Amino acid sequence: MLVSLKWLKDLVEIPVPVVELVDRLDLTGTAVESVKSAGDALDNVVVGQIIAKEQHPEADKLWVTKVDVGAGEPLQIVCGAQNFNEGDKVPVALVGATLPNGMTIKKAKLRGVESRGMNCSARELGLGEDHEGLMILPADAPVGTPFAEYLGLSDTVLELEITPNRPDCLSVVGVAREIGAVFDRAASTRASTPAETGAPVADFATVTIDEADTCPRYTARLIRNVKIGPSPAWLAERVIASGTRSISNIVDITNYVMFELGQPLHAFDADLLAKNEGGQVSIGVRTARAGEKLTTLDGAERTLAADALLITDSSGPIALAGVMGGQSTEVHGGSLNILLESACFNQGSISRTSRRLGLFSEASSRFEKGVDRTACVAALDRAAALMAELCGGEVAPGVIDAYPLPAEVRELTLRIPRLNAIIGADISAAEAGAILTRLGCAVTGSGDVLAVTIPTFRADLEREIDLIEEVLRIYGMERIVTTLPSGAGRLGELTREQRLRERIGATLRASGLNETMTYSFGDPGDTARLRDVLEEGEVLCELLNPMSAEQSVLRRTILSGLLRSVSYNQRRGVPNVHLYEIGGTFRAVDGRKQPKEHAKVAGVLAGAWHEPTWNEPAVALDLFDGKGVIEALVRELGAKRFKVRAAELPFLQPGRAAEVLVGGEVVGWLGEVHPLVLDAFEAEAPVTAFELALAPLMRAAVDAKPFTDVPRFPAVELDVAIVVPEDVTAERVEQSIVSAGGKLLDSVRLFDVYRGAGVPGGKKSMAFELAYRAADRTLTADEVESAHERLLRKVCAAVGGELRG
Amino acid sequence: MSITDQLVSLRDEGLAAIVAADDLATLDAVRIEYLGKKGSLTGILRGLGALSAEERPAAGKVSNEVRVALEEALETHRAELASAALAARIGAEAVDVTLPGRARPVGSRHLIEQIRAEIVEIFLGLGYRIAEGPEVELDYYNFTALNTPPDHPARSLADTFYVRDLSGEEAAVTGESDVLLRTHTSPVQVRVMEKEAPPIYILAPGRVYRRDIADPSHLPQFTQVEGLVVDEGITFGDLKGTLDHVCKAIFGPDRRIRFRPHFFPFTEPSAEVDVSCGICAGSGCRFCKGTGWLEILGSGMVDPNVFGYVGIDSERYSGFAFGMGVERIAALKYNIPDLRMLLEGDMRFLRQF
């Protein structure tokens, strides 16, 4: 909220300079977001005098003027207004000025004649609606003076962040009261009693409220015979400083009183209100009927939701209560009689209506946070008195006051030991009481318990804890001594899953993968891009209000995000990509409220581990680099029953795709991404990827790996090459070696796979190094030989292989 | 020639041959030629048996001297040659140590995860446990149980992502669905308080989501770390002390913090916390918009209404809670100009940390 410092100083003594005021407000809960000079919007606008006026040679309606702006040569300015003469003083926007309507003044040629500035109307300067001609200034206006200074607009404006619990500070009086409490100064309020004349308002109109809940109070006054016109400078200045435009005296007064007291007001043209058979206006407050329509002030015809709150007369809706007036009863230049409304509406109803219609106004934002309904009439009186004073209005005797739900006076107790227990201080009852008194509370009692009567403008103070907060913030948070919780011994430690997740990440980094983070959102088209289909009963986990179509569902796999990152890097000339991410994936099923979240670890490898170097060529990464990463991970976790078996997965290239099993269950997949999938993600082949579910991986992990003795006797190592048909897998050959090897076979290592000369077509030769060892002795040559021969016989028979010569 | 003369001449020849040998193999050949089983000295010594008893001791003595002389010369020269050979090998094997090392692929940790882990570490030291919960949450845990009124703007479709509710149940609060992407990790706190009795000391890090357009200073998905303490006798002073410790641990011991009263539905009293600007040390600069302070977290004493929702006696227990955005800390500490870099997976960015 914008607040003029001048205005504040009218209401309360501020005993410190602005810088300190800002600090104190920050530290007591009213954050100051900016401090601005009010005249800023009129920078580079000065008072000028027209010293020559000649017809534009090319245009009938344009004038070429010479304007004295108090410095240097008079400026030549082309001007379209007709209402001025030589010698008049006008506001002149110099080249470089940016006017309140956003227009920036530049040197220009108009119909061939150079123009160096602009002579301004009131509207162009945000000072009123008048744009009939130039704003003619009094003859004594000093030429060359900055216009803001001339108008007395040089003021400091504070932009305050008012938290939602403090609607009482959405007014100058409220902020003055808050400043008064902070500095222990009394703030004054603004009350007026208008002189009344003519027939009483009760003769003119009545008010009926359908449901007390929707409108706890509705008050109105009638002001007759007003003259609508521009506002006096002081009024225009204040509404401008508050961040709005000056429109007319009547509208400015309603805004002024709202800014001053926090109570929104609405002015109806009383002559445009429908009269009932008895010749009276019957104002009603009720909720809309389904499909009911109203054309609002902005000219839009709005179809209203069933719970929108309406002000009606006997002809139908005339205003959207608290949000926006209706066009049919709007005050206009010729309005004579004004019915002025000051009411309190249900907060939730106003909030829903303004959000539904996207209409947010100074009024609606105050109503939705809550206004003090005990002060409705005071605002009405204040505005009526100003209308009498500034618009020549005659205030009809009496106030219409429908008040079905009177405000209750709230009494709270504050236990001083409780106060100190919560904030960790030693504040006395007297000090706490004094702070609450400064805030407008009536405090009685002493000792350990205070009885506190809450002022009506502080509806947010409902509980003892609210009082504790008030005492703390005025006392000063900076005065509270810092301590650490002293509770009995407690242990900070990670759970097994948290520790394992750290270890999985660390192992992947040690294997060369870089951790990344991608969006949990996905594109509904990603499933098709991955050539995948949803599982039986599965549906996409859909956002109801996504930011964009590309991010309108939650991801089913981390792969899609990682492929986007691969593409991102490749398109920027970074071919070597090694990424992993640990994060959630989401599976939604029809009939289940929330999707299942699965923590996964996924990785991608593209390019090579590194660029070619002087001593090492770059080796293209493939499936076996991914497998190596997973093998390292499984070894680090000590997980048993690890197996990688060929599988068909829609997003992986056939023949280079596998399932990963750990602990006997499938935990994920590994392979080279299908070329068509890479095309869809605009990534270049080959890309190796894997994704593993964390839960089964962690279940299979061993917390303490078992110890086996380090061998003390030497091994005998023998190499053997076995020629087998192509479809016999390495795993099968190795398994048959292990099962044929008996107790003496210590280890098997595949060190070569060979096809070509010497090996028949359709076959391959696999070379293994076998190590024989006994735990308790050195083996003899005979022992090894007979074991080896037996092994070879069995293996060849089992896998249909033969020894390579 | 007398046998003695023969021995002397053999010695002189032998010594010359030893000195002339310029590698170990030649030297070994020399050794065999003179001292081997069929060597010259051996041959002469065999002739000693033919000498008279008078001559024999003198010749024996001389022959022994010759053998010792040859052996010593052989050993000396062998050592010389071995040392020269080693020196030659070493010379040949010298490399340019400024050549780059053989590349080892070692991955880096994502900046956000690095900071998250750092904060987790700090709180483990303070005796906190790490709590986690679902990212797709229910309105009840994200808002209602955190004392957020039904009409609160944070609940609006403009601020919070809602997820289609597939159960067919009617939304109990606002809009079409009570299922949403959590906007903070506070629902984890509620879930912990529902399940466990105080004392509770937990930290809840995790991904959260808000409807912000991705731009240099906003992301619709970011990382939060929230803390919760519930115990007997917990005070606002404890909150101050804890956050003071944490901010100094994250940003450095010279930084100051200040508390500004604020409003959050789930805490009361509530405060925003600023840390003094690291660029200008608090005197005001462009980085801190002239204030000398950078806002980094929200905090407060747990609102008694929140205790009411989870059935904790607010007369017996009190507590504090706080929350901070890890991306914001990253931006402040590392001067990251555009938060979107954190989600792009650009290797050139990731490899820096």
pLDDT digits 0-9 by tens, A450-507: 999 999 999 999 999 999 999 999 999 999 999 999 877 688 999 999 999 999 999 9
Residues of A in Cβ contact (< 8 Å) with B107: 508-515, 578, 580
Report CA-CA distances (Å) from A463 to A112, A199, A374, A452: 72, 47, 21, 11
pLDDT band at B175 (very low <50, low <70, confident <90, very high): low
Is A542 in Cβ contact with B105 (below 8 Å)?
A: no
What residues of chain B, 254 to 283, have a C-beta less than 8 Å from chain A? 258-263, 268-272
Nearest CA in chain A to B134: A597
Flag whether residue B295 sits within 8 Å of chain A, measured between CB atoms: no
- Measure the CA–CA gap between A303 and A318, rounded to whole angstroms: 14
Three-class SS of residue A207? strand
pLDDT at B9: 87
pLDDT at A40: 67
Report CA-CA distances (Å) from A610 to A491, A626, A670: 43, 15, 22
Q: What percent of chain B has pLDDT over 90?
A: 66
Average pLDDT rounded to a whole number, residues A549-559: 97
Is B244 in Cβ contact with A616 (below 8 Å)?
A: no
- Measure the CA–CA gap between A655 and A648, rounded to whole angstroms: 8
Give the mean pLDDT of chain A.
93
Q: Is the pLDDT of residue A153 over 70?
A: no
Is B103 in Cβ contact with A609 (below 8 Å)?
A: yes
pLDDT tens-digit map of A218-266: 999 999 999 999 999 889 888 988 888 889 999 999 999 999 999 999 9
- Measure the CA–CA gap between A630 and A691, rounded to whole angstroms: 10
Q: Is the pLDDT of residue B49 over 90?
A: no
Flag whether residue A462 sits within 8 Å of chain B, measured between CB atoms: no
Q: Is the pLDDT of residue A311 over 80?
A: yes
Flag whether residue B113 sits within 8 Å of chain A, measured between CB atoms: yes
CA Rg, chain A, in Å? 41
Flag whether residue A580 sits within 8 Å of chain B, measured between CB atoms: yes
Flag whether residue B123 sits within 8 Å of chain A, measured between CB atoms: yes
pLDDT tens-digit map of B86-117: 999 999 999 999 999 988 889 999 999 999 99
Higher-pLDDT residue of A298 and B55 is A298
Flag whether residue B135 sits within 8 Å of chain A, measured between CB atoms: yes
Cβ proximity of A146 and A39 under 8 Å: yes
Average pLDDT rounded to a whole number, residues B287-312: 92
Of B130, B135, B237, the CB nearest to A481: B237
pLDDT at B89: 93
Average pLDDT rounded to a whole number, residues B133-143: 96
- Measure the CA–CA gap between A469 and A450, rounded to whole angstroms: 15
Nearest CA in chain B to A584: B135
Which of the residues A364, A515, A541 would you substitute to probe the B interface, choosing the one with the greatest number of B C-beta atoms within 10 Å? A515
Total beta-carbon pairs less than 8 A apart between chain A and chain B: 273
Candidate from A102-116, A551-565, B339-353 with smallest mean pLDDT? A102-116
pLDDT band at B173 (very low <50, low <70, confident <90, very high): low
Is A505 in Cβ contact with B232 (below 8 Å)?
A: no
Of A517, A547, A576, the CB nearest to B343: A517
Residues of B in Cβ contact (< 8 Å) with A518: 343, 345
Candidate from A407-421, B60-74, B115-129, B304-318 with smallest mean pLDDT? B60-74
Q: Is the pLDDT of residue B283 over 70?
A: yes
Residues of B in Cβ contact (< 8 Å) with A503: none
Of B123, B151, B342, the CB nearest to A517: B342
In the structure encoding, which two tokens stand for residue A741, read together? 């090897």
pLDDT at A38: 64
Three-class SS of residue A559? helix
Residues of A in Cβ contact (< 8 Å) with B235: 421-424, 483
pLDDT at A167: 94
Nearest alpha carbon to residue A663 among A706, A614, A697 = A697
Higher-pLDDT residue of B321 and B152 is B321
pLDDT tens-digit map of A52-78: 999 888 888 889 999 998 888 889 999
Of A31, A348, A510, the CB nearest to B106: A510
Average pLDDT rounded to a whole number, residues B114-140: 96
Average pLDDT rounded to a whole number, residues A556-572: 98
Report CA-CA distances (Å) from B169 to A51, A592, B134, B136, B138: 77, 10, 20, 16, 12
pLDDT at A308: 92
Nearest CA in chain B to A538: B166
Look up the pTM and report it. Answer: 0.85
| Residue B229, min C-alpha distance to chain A (Å) | 9
Beta-bridge partners for B301 = B320
In chain B, DSSP finds a helix count (H) and a strand count (E) of 11, 9
Q: What percent of chain A has pLDDT over 70?
A: 98
pLDDT tens-digit map of A27-36: 999 999 988 8
Is B207 in Cβ contact with A520 (below 8 Å)?
A: yes
Average pLDDT rounded to a whole number, residues A544-548: 95
Q: Is the pLDDT of residue A39 over 70?
A: no
pLDDT tens-digit map of A577-625: 999 999 999 999 999 999 999 999 999 999 999 999 998 999 999 999 9
